[in-house]
């Protein structure tokens, strides 16, 4: 037999089954996505991540809460006033 002749190995349906249509990715933005909400969230996340650039804050070797709070406060003051 020549290539391409004969029966096809798998049936190819004309239209996908309804459950396959439901499972496909719809794409686009999620329904709860709001530009203003995302903008505020992004600002907060960037502000929170800034002190972690300090090595002392990122490693957190201190065990007492007041020492950690003081370290984070010092890092934030240094970032804020550019020291």
Tens-digit pLDDT profile for residues 4-50: 666 666 666 566 666 666 655 666 666 666 778 888 888 888 877 87
Contact between 77 and 69 (Cβ < 8 Å): no
CB count in 10 Å sphere of residue 71: 18
Residue 59: pLDDT over 70: yes
Q: What residues contact 70, with CB distance under 8 A and at least 6 apart?
A: none
Q: How far is CA 16 from the centre of its chain?
A: 32
Q: How confident is the model at residue 83 (pLDDT cuts 50, 70, 90)?
A: low
Determine the straight-line distance between the first and last CA of the chain, rounded to whole angstroms: 81
Q: Report which of residues 66 and 18 the model is more confident about.
A: 66
pTM for the structure as a whole = 0.41
């Amino acid at each position: 037999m020549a290539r391409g002749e004969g029966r096809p190995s798998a049936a190819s349906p004309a239209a996908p089954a309804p459950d396959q249509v439901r499972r496909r990715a719809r794409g686009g933005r999620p329904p709860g996505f709001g530009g203003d909400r995302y903008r505020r969230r992004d600002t907060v996340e960037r502000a929170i991540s800034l002190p972690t650039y300090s090595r002392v804050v990122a490693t957190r070797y201190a065990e007492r809460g007041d020492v950690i709070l003081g370290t984070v406060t010092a890092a934030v003051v240094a970032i804020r006033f550019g020291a």
